[in-house]
Amino acid sequence: MAETFRAVLITRSEEHGQSVDFVELSEDDLMEGDVTVAVEATTVNYKDGLAITGKAPVVRRFPMIPGVDLAGTVTRSSHPQWKEGDRVILNGWGVGETHYGAYAGRARVSGDWLVPLPAEMSPADAMAIGTAGYTAMLCVMALERHGIVPDRGRVVVTGAAGGVGSVAVSLLANLGYEVVASTGRQSEASYLRELGAAEIIGREELSAPARPLGKERWAGGVDAVGSHTLANVLSMTSYGGAVAACGLAQGMDLPASVAPFILRGVSLLGIDSVMAPKSLRLEAWGRLARDLDRSKMAALASTIPFSQVVEAAEDIVAGRVRGRLVVEM
């Protein structure tokens, strides 16, 4: 009899809509792939919350094991790069959306989707960073490539108490930037200062409809919110500045003016973490191992058991989660 493991499975029917259950599966139930991984840690991202709650059409085939991030050990491989015992990370590539994901004891995936777990990190460390932190690092790298270095001036981070925002604040502060953290949860001000924020501003300063141009307040930014917030951030970015956009917590729309682009030469840098090429992923994880202050990780992350994944998904969509959630399998 095949060994079984516990998994979260999302199903959908015309009669009952979407349902989420804990089930027992075996490797025979997994989808095709040339590497099988024992999942040792995963995490709950905002996207995972949307998938489990059904608040957005993240899942595009049913049934589906959700979970877009995992870290663990290779148990079987026919891929030339990986062998049994290798420790690996996976972020994105449609895992948890179109391919069975991380919320299971085992994952069978394409070896091309994997990157090595940095020697300095445990699986739990990597999932304290997860897609949110890896995306934050991609944002920082994009700003650097555009010449937004600490000497250029302040940078703003929106949704600062969330997963992407928390890691972005910590990374930017550790790299010497003066960080303005925007949050709707003023109760998190001390947490954000502990991560390195120099100033905390309320979400309401940026969430209303934007003027075409506002007062120049920062040289660049990391935006995980979208909609009016991103429009305001752009309108307040100084000449030649840049904003890295990676999220849509307020909305997918961008009710902005072309004024910041054509009158101040501001650039909007789109950040995609799901299909980013392997070279960028390797660079980002190398930088995270080097540039993220490990002493701040305790403040950034909290740990939950696998049995609480569904509840945590509901909490993250409702805005009740600070920083990062690590799921111990």
Q: What value does the mean pLDDT take over residues 235-242? A: 98
Task: Please check whether residue 324 lies inside any domain of the structure.
Answer: yes
Q: What value does the mean pLDDT take over residues 273-302? A: 90
Q: How far apart are CA 2 and CA 213, in angstroms?
A: 63
Q: Which residue has the tokens 């909290």?
A: 302
Instruction: Specify whether the CB–CB gap between 181 and 165 falls below 8 A.
Output: yes
Q: What value does the mean pLDDT take over residues 72-95? A: 97
Task: Please check whether residue 124 lies inside any domain of the structure.
Answer: no
- Considering the domain architecture, whether residues 75 and 160 belong to the same structural domain is answered as no
Query: Nearest-CA neighbor of 256 among 286, 231, 283?
Result: 231
For residue 226, what are its two tokens?
């979208």
- Considering the domain architecture, whether residues 103 and 136 belong to the same structural domain is answered as no
Tell me which residue range forms the domain holding 68. Answer: 4-117+293-328
Query: Nearest-CA neighbor of 101 among 18, 147, 33?
Result: 33
For residue 222, what are its two tokens?
């990391």
pLDDT tens readout for residues 143-188: 999 999 999 999 999 999 988 999 999 999 999 999 999 999 888 9
CA distances from 205 to 107, 209, 242, 276, 321 (A): 43, 10, 19, 32, 22
Tally of structural domains, the chain? 2
Q: What is the mean pLDDT of the chain?
A: 95
Q: What value does the mean pLDDT take over residues 37-53? A: 95
Does residue 37 register a pLDDT over 70? yes
Task: Please check whether residue 65 lies inside any domain of the structure.
Answer: yes
Residues whose CB falls within 8 Å of the CB of residue 171, separated by 6 or more in sequence, listed in order: 136, 137, 140, 288, 291, 292
DSSP string, 67-114: -SEEEEEEEEE-STT--TT-EEEEE-TTBTTTB--SSBSEEEE-GGGE
So what's the pLDDT on residue 47? 92
Beta bridge partners of 87: 73
- Considering the domain architecture, whether residues 136 and 265 belong to the same structural domain is answered as yes
Does residue 199 register a pLDDT over 90? yes
- Considering the domain architecture, whether residues 224 and 149 belong to the same structural domain is answered as yes
